[in-house]
Structure 1
Amino acid sequence: MTSLVRRSWDRVSLYLPVLLMGLLALGTWWLVRNAPVPQTPAAARAPTHEPDYFMKVFSVKTFDGAGRLHSEVQGRMARHYPDTDTLEIDQAHMRSVSPEGRVTVATANRALSNADGSEVQLFGDAVVTRQAMRVGGRALPRLEFQGEFLHAWTNDERVRSHLPVTLIRGNDRFTADSMEYDNLDQVLQLRGRVRGMLMPAPAR
């Protein structure tokens, strides 16, 4: 009986390493099967045209290095869009002062401005006005542009529109289907149906 048990144990011991390897492989497979799956990093979201902050009934001023007022923006509501870094303003009122002291005021039902306010698009009852001033002893009359759309570059002192506009210079008045004005080069281009009314200069 003892020899029978011994022979049986010898046979079992021959297969014991195989059984242990099988159990180890089965345990490894179970661990891999039930291990938590590492989370894949979320793909970077493409920027959407959604505002990241708002301003209500606001006024923002900027100043130059000498502390002089450079620009002021007011409005009823403003929305900043991070994907384009633009500011959309309802009931916009903007004022800029050039280094020479030329004051330009722009108003509209809605405005779209770039980050530094150097480029502004005006929509609905848009008006851009350069106040009268004297340069080198020469009087420059008040200059005003009116239209449903005006595109202004404040630093370059340019105004453009592909829609009908009205230009008022002092007492003179012009209308056109489109316009481009460069104040620094003193060049005005009126296109399409152009009409003008020139008033005589006041007697001295």
Structure 2
Amino acid sequence: MGVMALGTYWLASNTPSFIGGPETQRPATHDPDYFMRDFSVKTFEPNGRLKSEVFGTEARHFPDTDTLEIDNPRIRSYDENGSLTIATGRRAISNGDGSEVQLIGDAVVVRDAPPGTETPHMEIRSEFLHVFVNTERVKTHLPVTLIRGNDEFHGDSMDYDNLDRIMGLQGRVRGRLVPTPKP
């Protein structure tokens, strides 16, 4: 009986406890926790209208920074008037909620002319564009080209606010304005 009691005591004291014990967490590493290949992700407004669509050849999610890296991204976004904006690049990095996207390498943002308005087609080109989706801003610290209708502007850096329609070009800025012909 004593041997059984000692054996039970030894077993109970050497068995790991699952309740109330210290939790051991793995140190966060910058390794992807999931991949997507040849994918398309759509987001919709509460009324069911398509808000945006993201295409890519491959995407990797990194849990330590909650970022998504996308190869060959193509992002289509519609505003409340139905105007289409398309953003492309060789690579994109998005934060967890998709409110910020960094386009890297041959970055291009194109906004089509809204139907029924005189607002011209607009295109922004750079090696790096930082897009703030919720506030509709685009920034870059690298040389940039803006094409608006037939007009073309170049600058060393840029800050564009789509809501206020204000474009700030810094550094060496040059432009070419083409007059519109009268009918």
Q: The TM-score by the shorter chain falls in which range?
A: 0.7 to 0.9
Q: Deviations over 1:49-102 (max 9, x none)?
A: 211000001111111111111010000000011122211000000011112222
Distance in 1, matches of 2:130 and 2:92, equals 10
Structure having the higher helix fraction is 1
Residue by residue, what CA displacement relative to the aligned partner does 1:1-44 show, whole Å, maximum 9, x if unpaired?
A: xxxxxxxxxxxxxxxxxxxxxxx9xxx8xx87xx6375875631
Deviation of 1:180 (Å): 0.3
Cα drift, residue 154 of structure 1 = 2.1
How many correspondences in the alignment? Answer: 174
Name the CA distance, whole Å, in 1 between partners of 2:78 and 2:174: 31
TM-score (norm 1): 0.78
Partners of 1:98 and 1:155 within 8 A in 2 = no
Q: 2:31 aligns to what?
A: 50
* AA of the residue aligned to 2:39: F
Query: Structure 1 unaligned runs (5+)?
Result: 1-23
Q: 1:64 aligns with which of 23, 34, 45?
A: 45
8 Å CA contact 1:121–1:151 kept in 2: the answer is yes
1:159 aligns with 2:138: yes
Please, which of 87, 107, 111 is the counterpart of residue 88 of structure 2?
A: 107
With the length of structure 2 as denominator, give the TM-score of the two structures: 0.86
CA contact (8 A) 1:96 1:154 kept: no
Q: Which amino acid is 1:157 matched to? A: E
Change (3 A) 1:43 1:128: same
Alignment-derived partner of residue 142 in structure 1? 121
Alignment equivalent of 2:157, drawn from 178, 189, 192: 178
Matched with 1:98 is 79
Q: Percent identity?
A: 58
Query: Any gaps of 5 or more consecutive residues in structure 2?
Result: none
1:191 to 167, 170, 176: 170
CA distance in 1, matches of 2:162, 2:101: 16
Cα separation, 2, equivalents of 1:122 and 1:84? 17
Shift of 1:131: 1.0
User: For residues 4-23 of structure 1, what are the structure 2 equivalents within 5 Å?
Assistant: none
- CA distance in structure 2 between the partners assigned to 1:118 and 1:36 by the alignment: 51
Q: Deviations over 1:123-181 (max 9, x none)?
A: 000001111115xx641111110010000112321110000000001110011000000
Q: 1:69-84, aligned counterparts within 5 Å?
A: 69-84=50-65
Q: Secondary structure at the match of 1:133?
A: coil
RMSD, aligned α-carbons:
2.2
Once the two structures are superposed, the pairs formed by residues 28-43 of structure 1 within 5 Å of their partners are: 36=14, 38=16, 41=22, 43=24
Alpha-carbon distance between aligned partners in 1 of 2:159 and 2:138, rounded to the nearest angstrom: 6
Distance 2:28 2:66 in 1: 11
Give the number of the structure whose alpha-carbon radius of gyration is greater: 1
